[in-house]
A and B are shown apart, each in its own frame.
Chain A
Amino acid sequence: MTEAATGHAAAAAAHDAAAHGGEFNAGETIAHHIMDTQVMELPFIGAVHLPTLHIGSWDLPVTKHVVMLWVAAAVVLALAGIAARRRALVPGRVQSLVEIMVVFVRDELARKNIGPHGDRFVPYLLTTFFFILACNLIGLVPYGATATSNIGVTAALAGVAFLVTQASGMREYGVVGHFKNLVPPGLPAWLLPIMIPVELLGMLAKPFALCVRLFANMTAGHVVIISLISLVFILKSILVGVLLSVPFALFINGIELLVAFLQAYIFTMLTSLFIGMSVHPSH
């Protein structure tokens, strides 16, 4: 599992360090696994240098996380395609499985938070949920990297959520009306100078929190796993490995699996909540 992969990679790092006459540097191993690089490691091929695309005047380096984003997108597309292929009334296995989650997102998230015309947002919420879930789960597989542990990726996801929230509010109430909805109606005029900046700040803080929450959860989990495995190399003891590192790392890996699902769900639920607040301001 991941311990094998990170153990293998940590052993490789230790070998490199020993070959260069240096010590095993835990910080460097962690940074090497968490940071985004243009060198990708594939199972039997070894290290692959990824190209840099030159489009117009832009230099777009293709990195490890970019490739993982493509893989996650392919997985989500394949899953949706297979599930929807026959559209049988009596569903097969893949269709049933996907339908469970689709119905969950539609009923518990879209309709409960956004109200009766929440069906319009179900495709976007489903995309968000499955894409974040796929990115998180790919990071737990050997040779996989978590694209959502890159702040650029989570910032983009939160940015899209922000745009959908603003656009849905403006579509319902017009541009001015949407901003008027920020403050409660019937507010005494002397409170306005306080409420307006507070509400504007809140409007910006919500997507920012979405971004940082997902990023920090994903990064922190992987840092813990790599640190636990690095303990074996720092202390240079197999006893520590058997008794301490491997059981703990296995336990933390299980928690990471739970966190992968949970963070995807939390992101989608908060997005649906914000859309609901835009479309039906409760105050």
Chain B
Amino acid sequence: MEFGNSLAHLGAGIGAGLAVIGGAAGIGRLAAAAMEGSARQPQAVGDIRTSMIIAAALIEGATLFALVICMILGVK
């Protein structure tokens, strides 16, 4: 069977989905911990919020690495 580029496109789609699952799961856990910490100690809300945003941006950086590779595969 001649697959041509369809396998690359399939890989791109599956890869993007998996990347989003990983990133969203990680950031979800991070947000849950941040919520719990803020609830336990309301005066630390500002610090927790800053650290949460920084950690979320770093995790998202890793997710977007995978997305870039999927984009390269998708336009093959």
Chain A residues in the interface with B (C-beta under 8 A): 27, 31, 209, 212-213, 215-217, 219-220, 223, 262-263, 266, 269
B-chain residues with CB within 8 Å of residue A216 when the two chains form the complex: 61, 64-65, 67-68
Cβ–Cβ < 8 Å partners of B53 in chain A = 262
The docked-state distance in angstroms from the alpha carbon of A220 to that of B65 is 11
| Interface majority SS (helix, strand, loop, mixed), chain A | helix
The distance in angstroms between the C-alpha atoms of A87 and B58, with both chains bound, is 37
| Chain A residues positioned under 8 Å from B54 (CB to CB) | 266, 269
Which A residues are in CB contact (< 8 Å) with B71? 219, 223
Interface residues on B, range: 10 to 19
Asked whether, in the complex, the Cβ of A220 is within 8 Å of the Cβ of B57, the reply is no
Interface string of B55-70 (1 = CB under 8 A from A): 0011011001101100
Q: Is the CB of A266 within 8 A of B68?
A: no
Task: Give chain B interface residues in 35-69, CB to chain A under 8 Å.
Answer: 53-54, 57-58, 60-61, 64-65, 67-68
Q: Which of A27, A209, A216, A262 has the most CB of B within 10 A?
A: A216
Contacts of A220 in B (CB 8 A): 64, 67
Question: What is the bound-complex CA distance between A213 and B54, given in angstroms?
Answer: 13
Q: In the docked arrangement, what's the CA distance between A213 and B75, Å?
A: 20
Interface contacts beyond A216-B64, A223-B71: sample of 13 additional A-B pairs, CB < 8 Å, sorted by A: A27-B75, A212-B65, A213-B61, A213-B64, A213-B65, A217-B60, A217-B64, A219-B68, A219-B71, A220-B64, A263-B57, A266-B57, A269-B54
Q: Are A209 and B67 in contact (CB under 8 A)?
A: no
Asked whether A262 lies within 8 Å of B68 as measured between CB atoms, the reply is no
A212-B61 in contact (CB<8A)? yes
